[in-house]
Amino acid sequence: MGKAKSAKRGGANSSPYERPSKHAAANNVFKFSKDFGQHILKNPGIAETIVNKAYLKPTDTVLEVGPGTGNLTVKILEQAKKVIAVEMDPRMAAETTKRVQGKPEQKRLEVLLGDVIKTTLPAFDVCISNTPYQISSPLVFKLLSLPNPPRTCVLMFQREFALRLTARPGDALYCRLSVNAQFWAHITHILKVGRNNFRPPPQVDSSVVRIEPKLGSERPNISFEEWDGMLRVCFNRKNKVLRASWLGSKEVLNMLERNYRLWCATNDIPVDDTLADEDEDDEMEVDENAPPGPGDEDEWDGIMDVDGEADDTPSFFKEMKAGGSEIPKTKSKRKKTRVALLVKEKVRKVLEDVTELADKRSGKCDENDFLRLLAAFNAEGIHFS
């Protein structure tokens, strides 16, 4: 009687020494992590174009962020003196190291394991990156804020982020990111990269941009915190006129009052904390229901968020609204001080008299408009950092 075939240990259908099937060979060595935004560039032609567009010199040290399996790394090593690769995933770091193991290039590759945003970076001349989408904005501003920024950066981003970086005043995607990035660097779009050039393919297409930080006398001599703090207010609703963005928000006016008080205290300037008369305080009416645009920012930690799922408006007010009657506004119970009114008047003066930008929308303002606005606010003792 023949022996019955027993199931092999572990449920395997073949000997461990057998050649793997074509289907098995097609599988990844390991599973890519969505947490790290891992999409490996598999098209060697695009990898070569990215490296060529960096215009590397034989003496250059290159920072590569997120090397993945080393497809870009090996091409950079063909042209540069050294590559410093920063990788979060130990498995990817090992794969990159394997690509040059036992080769002369091994001595010219340094792999740093960790988060590039939190890592203190050594000196480098150029940055090249197939950027994980979660760190796109932090990476751009980390590179631009370095004491000695790189000569050039050739970075791949999700296409919409790249288009925001290069957007101009009046464009639908023009936003705070556009103004900030273009203020500190020259940015050009290099090429569009379809999603099928990656493994696994992402849900959207990508684009490669070149960022050349402004250096020397061209570098703005302005505090980034001051500049960005002002832009946050301007672009909270970019399709509103600036008068509404600044004078139509109690949160903004309260923030400016706090900053003005701090500036006065620092410079030994007394402030008038007496209560203002009711007829001195004219509240500005603003359309708070203006729809947000593509470049609008939600920077106020939920203050500007509106819950649209449930309508808790009392039936009395619903009936008034349906009948065309204006819903009466309840005045704030908090008494205004004279310093609060002074700050409000300073803001009005800056917008209407000094810059004449009160009726202009942030989405239409250019770099010079924002510079004039910041200079006028600072001249009135209003700061943002």
Band of residue 24 on the pLDDT scale cut at 50, 70, 90:
very low
Say how far apart CA 145 and CA 132 lie, in whole Å. 20
pLDDT mean across residues, the chain: 83
From residue 170, give the alpha-carbon distance in Å to each of 159, 294, 295, 361.
19, 12, 11, 10
Evaluate if residue 111 carries a pLDDT over 80. yes
Neighbouring residues of 63: CB distance < 8 A, sequence distance ≥ 6: 84, 86, 121, 124, 126, 127, 128, 129, 150
List pLDDT tens digits, range 267-278. Answer: 999 988 888 776
Residues 29, 32, 33, CA angle at the centre, nearest 5°?
145
Q: What pLDDT sits at residue 32?
A: 56
Average pLDDT over residues 243-266: 95
Given a cut of 60, is residue 26 above it in pLDDT? no
State residue 282's pLDDT score: 56
Residue-wise pLDDT for 297-343, tens only, equals 543 332 223 333 344 444 544 454 555 555 454 455 567 889 999 99
**75-89 tens-digit pLDDT:** 999 999 999 999 999
Q: Has residue 15 got a pLDDT over 50?
A: no
Q: What is the average per-residue pLDDT within 358-366? A: 96
The maximal CA–CA distance of the chain, rounded, in angstroms, is: 109
Give the Å distances, CA to CA, from 269 to 18, 255, 335: 84, 19, 23
Query: What does DSSP assign to residue 205?
Result: -
Taking the C-alpha atoms of residue 377 and residue 22, their distance in angstroms, rounded to an integer, is 67
pLDDT at 19 over 50: no
Q: CA-CA distance, 93 to 91, in Å (whole number)?
A: 5
Mean pLDDT of 235-244: 92
Q: What is the pLDDT of residue 237?
A: 85
Q: Which residue has the higher pLDDT, 122 or 287?
A: 122
Rounded mean pLDDT, 167-191: 96
Whether 121 has a pLDDT exceeding 50, the answer reads: yes
> What is the reported pLDDT for 335?
72
In degrees and rounded to multiples of 5, residue 77 shows phi and psi of -65, -20
**What integer is the mean pLDDT of 254-271?**
94
Query: What's residue 307's pLDDT?
Result: 34
How confident is the model at residue 36, as a pLDDT? Answer: 52
| pLDDT score recorded for residue 162 | 97
Task: Measure the CA–CA gap between 202 and 293, rounded to whole angstroms.
Answer: 25
| Secondary structure (DSSP) of 318-358 | HHHHHTTPPPPPPPPSSPPBHHHHHHHHHHHIIIIIIS--T
Residue 293, pLDDT > 90, answer no
